[in-house]
Amino acid sequence: MENEKNSRGQWGSNFGFLMAAIGSAVGLGNIWGFPYKMGASGGFAFLIVYIGLVAFAGIAIMLGELALGRKTGYGVIGTYKLLSKKFAWVGWLGFLSGFLILAFYSVLGGYTLRYAIGFLMEIFSAGAGFGGLGSGAFFGAFTTNGASQIIYHLLFMGITVAIVMGGISSGIERFTKIAMPVLFGMLLIVIIRSVTLEGAMTGVSFMFAPNFAAFSEIGFMKVLKTAAGQMFFSLSLGMGCMITYGSYLSKSENLEKNAVIIPIADSIFALCAGLAVMPAVGAFMSQGVEGISFGAGPGLLFVTLHQVFSAGMGGLIGDLFGFLFYFLVFIAAVTSAISLLEVCTAYFVDKDVQKGTSGNRKKHTMIVGAIIFLVGIPVCLDGLGAGRAGGAMIDIPATMFGMSEVRMAFDCWLDFYDMIAEGVFMPLGAILMSVMIGWVLKTDVIKEEIEVGGLKMKSFRFWEICFKYIVPIVITFVLFGQLDDFFGLGIF
């Protein structure tokens, strides 16, 4: 098994692995998703629920995925096939989640590249980057320009493919060891500017001042569902990333410690992203700048923050910080995208290794990347729902669980892909993994893998309770919350 693992590739150091794993977790989910979901879900109330979920579910799922991947030395599909014939199909949930997420994630990554280039052009010539359009007008024009979106989708996907083609230590690890420290440094610069703006404390208070009104105004289950979806997406759980990355780990590495470090580092990045965004939004809200609010939703990154930099800060300083911020988001998006592509590539490399060959990584990466690019094209042409004449993209009547007819209506391809991956496959995969570990294989399988290098598992009883009870129960509620949200079942 160890020889097969080495022929697949291996991390050069634990630091390199941590940078890659943290990079996988830190992406659009943190810098885009966390601030806007916090803004739309009550600020402090959302933060408390999110931290609780990470502590009692996220870390346990992270530990389970890393341990299973290292134990088998295979990617997500190979891991489940080897561990249990009953659960073999669960691996495909992770594979397809990563595949579908990257199909729309690459499009959004292309958006960040376009905005970074736009602000860079504005530095040298006013109006060159965004054609003199306001933030909302430019976003509308860009999302309805399918050809332009496809070009940036292709550029982003090409960069991702090039890094993954380099392999584990020479490609992914080498990139993330440089990118993650640079990313953190850039984020600190933006935070310093954000919190020193006049009126910035409005945003800081929104994040950290105790306020649980959202539980009654929005509903606790909706806040829980949103926070859990953010946790899965942000920590790269349930999509095969951590199983795949774990499969390249040496037996001497401390899995229990790493499974704690990664979520903590990811949560710190998420809070830093909030501090980069919310104080700036609060500052210009208090100054009466139009079109800016905490609850701007998905448009927070591409409309509200564009407005913050161009109209709020303005001039050379605004353009400079706009470029710095969007380039930062672009780097974060790439570090996550390479882990998603690696999940899909690893399956084909594993098949070659099992046949006794070294595996043609470059060929597999290019083919898989090309297919994902093609699957993402409808997201480009649909323009997040703006490219249609009107009506839902998909409107399917269905009868579920003996209930009366419900309707599945999706405004855009991104929502449709997201519903399948984040809404169903990821939480379902996490539930089944925890049941497999807690009740089928028993939690000793994790203990044995952690202690194989001579280390002692320090919190076995706590993790056993998590795998047996906490994760299945909590994530089952989350799964039904997702189904209720997407299908309108009326459960909550």
Strands 406-410 and 394-398: antiparallel
Residue with tokens 């592509």: 341
Range ranked top by mean pLDDT from 83-92, 118-127, 419-428:
118-127
Q: pLDDT by residue (tens digit) across 162-188?
A: 999 999 988 999 999 999 998 888 888
Q: pLDDT by residue (tens digit) across 443-473?
A: 999 999 999 978 889 889 999 999 999 999 9
Q: Token pair for residue 463?
A: 């993790």
Q: Token pair for residue 74?
A: 């295979």
Q: pLDDT by residue (tens digit) across 148-162?
A: 999 999 999 999 999
pLDDT at 85: 82
Mean pLDDT (whole number) for 397-420: 63
Q: Is the pLDDT of residue 264 over 90?
A: yes
Mean pLDDT (whole number) for 235-255: 91
Delimit the domains of the chain by residue range.
Answer: 2-421
In this structure, what DSSP letter does residue 232 have? Answer: H
Residue 77 · residue 95 · CB < 8 Å: yes
Q: pLDDT by residue (tens digit) across 118-133?
A: 999 999 998 899 998 9
Confidence of residue 88 (pLDDT cuts 50, 70, 90): confident
Q: Is the pLDDT of residue 294 over 80?
A: no
Q: pLDDT by residue (tens digit) across 334-392?
A: 999 999 999 999 999 999 888 877 768 999 999 999 999 999 999 999 877 764 544 44
- Identify the weakest region by mean pLDDT among 94-103, 104-113, 133-142: 133-142
Mean pLDDT (whole number) for 237-252: 92
Confidence of residue 86 (pLDDT cuts 50, 70, 90): confident
Q: Is the pLDDT of residue 424 over 60?
A: yes
Residue 183 · residue 137 · CB < 8 Å: no
pLDDT at 392: 46
Q: Is the pLDDT of residue 135 over 80?
A: yes
Check residues 264 and 32 and name the one with the higher pLDDT: 264
- The CATH code of domain 2-421 reads 1.10.4160
By C-alpha distance, which of 364, 348, 311 is closest to 164? 364
Q: Token pair for residue 277?
A: 């965004």
pLDDT at 112: 94
Q: Is the pLDDT of residue 64 over 90?
A: yes
> What's the CA gap between 326 and 419, in Å, rounded?
27
Taking CA atoms, 215 is separated from 45, 211, 481, in Å, by 7, 9, 15
Q: Is the pLDDT of residue 412 over 90?
A: no
pTM of the model: 0.90
Q: Token pair for residue 17?
A: 């692995």
Check residues 401 and 489 and name the one with the higher pLDDT: 489
Q: Which residues contact 359 (CB under 8 A, 6 or more apart)?
A: 7, 8, 348, 349, 350, 352, 353
Q: Is the pLDDT of residue 295 over 80?
A: no
